[in-house]
Amino acid sequence: MFKVKEIYVGRNPIQSYVTKLLNVLTLGKLEDQKKKMAYDDLYHLYMIVVLDTGFNVLVEKNSVINIQPIPPSYKDKAESIIKIPVNKEITFGDMMNKTQKDVGESFFKYDHVNNNCQYFVMNILKSNGLLTKEANDFIMQNILEVLKTSPTYASTIARLATETSAKLDRLFYGAGKGKKKQK
């Protein structure tokens, strides 16, 4: 059993081509709302879990859940990062299983507004009694408020794009199987 030694939550700006596309789809409303809410960027969030073996694991949710080994230097790539206090003994498998049990089917499903990378990270921490106020404030951006002035078709297009991406990922890599490492 691999015990969790440390957890970090990192965030990086969503790639500019994605935000540009979303801004076009929303007829400029995305950029207007970002300015109104004083957001410089929208962020993708992920966790870096350091195991007692020294092994580092990336845990994130894109259109599908991604769990993969990473080098310790991966933390340096985060635009911003916080360390989560691990105040109990917990294995990696137990942490993920408890979260899956607590949130049910939504553990695997992705929605760009209601079940995105923010909720995935928050649910893991919350289900395992590790969510602090500092972590919650760091994790959650009010994406509903940002997107509320967007045309309804923009949300439909984003949802279809995400579902297509997930289906292609499963087609090419299989359900529950990881992508092959690039050398």
Tens digit of pLDDT at every position of the chain (183 positions): 899 999 999 988 765 544 555 545 554 555 555 444 434 446 788 999 999 999 999 999 988 899 999 999 999 888 889 999 999 999 999 999 999 999 999 999 988 778 888 899 999 999 999 999 999 988 986 554 434 444 454 455 455 555 554 455 556 666 554 554 443
CA–CA gap between residue 133 and residue 2 (Å, rounded): 27
> What local confidence, expressed as pLDDT, does residue 11 receive?
87
The encoded tokens of residue 99 equal 């979260």
What per-residue string of b and e applies to 19-50 under the rule 16 or more CB within 10 Å gives b? Answer: beebbebbeebbbebbeeeebeebbbbbbbbb
For the full predicted model, state whether its pTM sits above 0.75: no
Handedness of CA 149, 150, 153, 157 (dihedral sign): negative
> What local confidence, expressed as pLDDT, does residue 72 receive?
93
By C-alpha distance, which of 11, 17, 25, 59 is closest to 157? 25
By C-alpha distance, which of 88, 6, 85, 82 is closest to 51? 6
Beta strand ranges found along 31-149 (DSSP E): 43-51, 56-61, 65-70, 80-84
Furthest CA-CA distance within the chain: 50
Handedness of CA 148, 131, 179, 44 (dihedral sign): positive
**Which residue is it, tokens 């990922």?**
169
CA–CA gap between residue 142 and residue 82 (Å, rounded): 19
> What local confidence, expressed as pLDDT, does residue 146 receive?
39
CA–CA gap between residue 33 and residue 148 (Å, rounded): 9
